[in-house]
Chains A and B, each alone.
Chain A
Amino acid sequence: MARTKVFVPRETAAVSVGADDVAIAIARKSKQLGTDIQLVRNGSWGASWLEPLIEVEVDGQRIAYGNVAASDIESLFAADFLGGGEHPRRVGPTQEIPYLIQQERWTFFRCGLIEALSIEDFRATSGFAGLEQALAMGSDAVIEAVLESGLRGRGGAGFPTGIKWRTVADASGTQKYIACNADEGDSGTFSDRILMESDPLSLIEGMAIAGFATGASKGYVYLRSEYPLTHKIFGKAIAVARDAGWLGENIQGSGFDFDIELHIGAGSYVCGEETAMLESLEGKRGIVRYKPPLPALEGLFGKPTVVNNVVTLASVPNILRLGAERYAQMGVGRSLGTLAFQLAGNIKRGGLVEKAFGVTLRELIEDWGGGTASGRPVKAVQVGGPLGAYIPAEQLDTPLDYEKFAEIGAMIGHGGIVVFDDLTNMARLARFAMEFCAIESCGKCTPCRIGSTRGVEVIDRMIKGEERELNYDLLVELCDTMEGASLCAMGGMTPYPVRSVLKYFADDFAPRQGGDA
């Protein structure tokens, strides 16, 4: 009889709430009982609210048990969970969990399904088929397909990926680079992390395709140091791909050479800005560069460089394998394809939801998220990280679409959605936006370096009730200066959350007794 497969995710969120302890407890108990099981450490499905979400394969179907603690293992074995038995933790077949099946998984379809470092699992689920397709169709056709798909940069800026690739491909010079931005510093975002921990080979495949399309033989991944488990898993994935001949010289006998070097950041938010990231990849202080020159023409070590986010690159293999039209059929307006939205903060069912653009904030927060964790009304939602606007509850019907968000003075960014309930004091969050900018500013330009500190001071005076109107005007003027004169989005967009609080939650600046944000 085949051994029963038990899946326990090895992914940061799952491990952060006890998945390793659960795995140990299962191994110990099955040994004690003499039951022969196969313990698989898969990636995460992204239903973080159910973590640790363990599964048992019964008659070819995976049965999920959610929020499992090591202390549940005794009773789970007693309830015959290896046979899919009833138990308070039983969620049901994974393929019937509404949170998961109502998604449109394009880039994240393998996450949770496979063992992250198993090249067999990866190949069995069409892994490297996109790269094979690319090698067969030629570099020009690859760029055409990426252009046709409408794929835009998923790091936040939303720049058309195909145009960037075309620019690098057409640039003169023999040495070009692919630089993958995995410095996922925005609060409320974790999609890069989930992908790199749950399906790391897909990013490697996407980078190799980018290298082939643009004529780059070397790729760099810049991963933030706050992700130590991702570091371990992705580092191993590079070795796995190399051993199997999918990285290195003459990949699969095609004559195409491509290899990847992993760099770890060192705790600086602004290194997620593409030019600061390039400086950091060169071993320097993460100071923002002037643009132009564009990194596509003079990037890493002064060479033409594709700088793309993790999700952007990992979306490409399926675009080649399944066709650009299929990707472009999803979404709305000029926001085509899918985005992995991330539900975070005060939300009942937080996690990753990959959906086509056009889904509304309300659908994501209510249908998927189940409302706030506290059970109180939503007061505001910050979309797109610390530089994103706070959107009031009245605007929750806004569809997720780059252009629609720009119309309401907001941005989608990397797709992080952080929910706050009605007990939140928004003035404190406006203050935090300025404070965070002061902490993380690279210091190169004055509006960002000095403006953020002045911003904290002005907001403090407003909160104390000192000359409120005068300080209000001063803050608006300061926001204008930062927005108009900063070198990059750090200082340039910090005003977004501040202005949104001024616009929708001005009452929160009224003096109040101490208390939490």
Chain B
Amino acid sequence: MPVGNGHQAALISELVAGFGARPEMLIQILHRVVEQFGFVSEAAIRQLADELNLSRAEVHGVVSYYDDFHTEARGRHSIRICQAEACQAMGSAALTRHAQESLGLALHESSEDISLDPVYCLGNCACSPAIMINGRTYGRVTHERFDELVGAMGGDD
């Protein structure tokens, strides 16, 4: 889908109106923009600044500050591997290497199909190591289970 088009602009206006055009809802609105479009485009930043009565610098500052927001397209599937201490204690470093090798991606890297990212704690620390695929958390992830889960991601989720 082309971005920065009339469809996106209309949808963003609708989102902003849904949150009462309150500037403090910027982060909440950005989550919805990412859900809809996968990333936050320059056009979206301009429009949000305009409609929330913020400066572009303020909106850009928020987008660039938080890990959840990106300004470029990401893979269709998101895989995040926990790198925090509890998962380290249960072999997350080896799992991360396995993921990188089997997917041919480094951390923070995206292909058209998959984005591979680190995450610092999914709150599943009694079932480490933990990963998140497309917003779902999985625990006790062995290398075999990782391969199964990736295999089951499906073509167009």
Interface residues of A (CB under 8 A from B): 12-13, 15-17, 48-49, 51, 184-190, 192-193, 224-229, 263-269, 280-286, 301, 342-347, 350-352, 373, 382, 386, 416, 418-421, 424, 429, 432, 436, 439-440, 516-517
Contacts and interface: CB of A to CB of B under 8 A. Distances in A.
B28 A13 contact: no
Nearest to A439: B120
Contact of A226 (B22, B23, B87, B122): B122
B120 A269 contact: yes
B125 A416 contact: yes
B110 interface: no
Contact of B139 (A16, A347, A517): A16
Nearest to A349: B126
B85 A188 contact: yes
Kindly state the interface size class of chain B when it binds its partner. 35 or more
Contact of A345 (B61, B94, B128): B128
Interface in B85-111: 85-91, 93-94
Candidate in B30, B31, B135, B137 with the most chain A CB atoms within 10 angstroms: B137
A168 to B, nearest CB: 20
A190 B123 contact: yes
A173 B91 CA distance: 52
Nearest to B141: A16
B9 interface: no
A286 to B, nearest CB: 7
Contacts of B119: 226, 267
7 closest Cβ contacts across the A-B interface?
A350-B126, A267-B67, A187-B84, A344-B125, A266-B66, A345-B89, A48-B126
Contacts of B27: 263-266, 280, 283
22 contacts: A13-B126, A13-B139, A51-B127, A187-B121, A188-B84, A190-B124, A226-B132, A229-B137, A265-B66, A266-B31, A267-B119, A285-B61, A286-B65, A286-B66, A342-B125, A344-B128, A350-B127, A373-B90, A416-B86, A419-B89, A421-B89, A429-B85
B94 A516 contact: yes
B66 A185 contact: no
B12 interface: no
Given A350-B127, A351-B126, A226 B25 contact: no
B28 A344 contact: no
Given A266-B27, A343-B126, A432 B85 contact: yes
B56 interface: no
B123 A429 contact: no
A225 B68 contact: yes
Candidate in A184, A264, A284, A440 with the most chain B CB atoms within 10 angstroms: A284
B91 A266 contact: no
Contacts of B121: 185-187, 189, 226
B26 interface: yes
A373 B125 CA distance: 13
Given A184-B123, A187-B125, A189-B125, A386 B84 contact: yes
B79 to A, nearest CB: 14
A345 B31 CA distance: 31
Contacts of B76: none
Nearest to B132: A226
Interface of B: 22-28, 30-31, 58, 61-62, 65-69, 84-91, 93-94, 119-128, 130, 132, 135-140
B124 to A, nearest CB: 5
Contacts of B124: 12-13, 16, 190
B48 to A, nearest CB: 11
B123 A266 contact: no
Candidate in B24, B26, B28, B124 with the most chain A CB atoms within 10 angstroms: B124
Given A267-B67, A280-B27, A345-B85, A189 B123 contact: yes
B113 to A, nearest CB: 22
A185 B66 CA distance: 14
B126 A284 contact: no
Contacts of B88: 345, 429, 432, 517
A188 B86 contact: yes
Given A382-B85, A429-B88, A283 B123 contact: no
B80 to A, nearest CB: 9
A12 B126 CA distance: 11
Nearest to B19: A283
Contact of B66 (A193, A267, A420, A516): A267
Candidate in B61, B125, B140 with the most chain A CB atoms within 10 angstroms: B125
Contact of A187 (B69, B91, B120, B135): B120
Contacts of B93: 516-517
A424 B130 contact: no
A190 B30 contact: no
Contacts of B126: 13, 48-49, 190, 342-344, 347, 350-352
Contacts of B125: 187-190, 342, 344-345, 350, 416, 418
A16 B31 contact: no
A419 B90 CA distance: 10
B139 A284 contact: no
A439 B66 CA distance: 11
Given A188-B85, A264-B28, A267-B67, 7 more contacts: A16-B139, A268-B67, A283-B27, A345-B87, A352-B126, A418-B85, A432-B85
